[in-house]
């Protein structure tokens, strides 16, 4: 008597090596993302009791109205004294930064005059803008 063996083939997916592949992909992307932006690593920095290096990080705000009135942090300044007052206001700053808030109706020449003062004093000038809706 002949017995016929029936062989059934069932489809199987071998997933034994998927764990290794996923681990290596995860490791690869972690290393690449750290190299892309190295400032992601958080460090505990040492503390200092020395207050001699206390530097103001607050930028100075220079506002210019449509009538060409100049204000340094809400203090009105006449244009001829503006460069000297900017030098005084940023003298104690390590990286002097001035936020320039100018009325949109001013001419480009008015902005260039003020920015030229900043260039002479080696001050970083940042032009403040309003977000459009």
Burial class (CB in 10 A: 0-12, 13-18, 19+), 85: middle
Domain ranges within the chain, ordered by starting residue: 60-127
Cα separation of the two ends of the chain: 88
Beta-carbon neighbour count of residue 89 at 10 Å?
21
Look at residues 99, 115, 91, 114 and name the one whose alpha carbon lies nearest to residue 60: 99
pLDDT in tens, 105-117: 888 898 899 999 9
CATH 3.30.420.270 fits 60-127, yes or no: yes
Q: Where are the alpha helices (DSSP H) in 55-102?
A: 82-89
pLDDT in tens, 12-71: 888 888 889 999 999 998 888 767 655 444 444 556 555 444 444 678 888 888 888 898
The C-alpha angle 57, 63, 112, rounded to 5 degrees, equals: 100
Give the pLDDT score at 95: 86
The C-alpha angle 78, 81, 86, rounded to 5 degrees, equals: 110
């Amino acid at each position: 008597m002949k017995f016929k063996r029936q062989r059934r083939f069932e489809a199987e997916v071998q997933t034994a090596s998927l764990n290794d592949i996923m681990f290596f992909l995860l490791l690869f992307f972690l290393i690449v993302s750290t190299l892309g932006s190295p400032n992601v690593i958080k460090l505990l920095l040492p503390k200092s009791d020395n207050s001699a290096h206390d530097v103001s990080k607050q930028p100075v705000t220079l506002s210019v109205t449509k009538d060409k009135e100049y204000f340094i942090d809400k203090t009105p300044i006449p244009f001829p004294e503006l460069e000297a007052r900017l030098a005084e206001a940023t003298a104690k700053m390590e990286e002097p930064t001035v936020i320039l808030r100018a009325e949109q109706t001013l001419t480009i020449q008015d902005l260039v005059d003020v920015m030229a003062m900043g260039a002479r004093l080696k001050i970083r000038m940042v032009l403040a803008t309003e977000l459009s809706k």
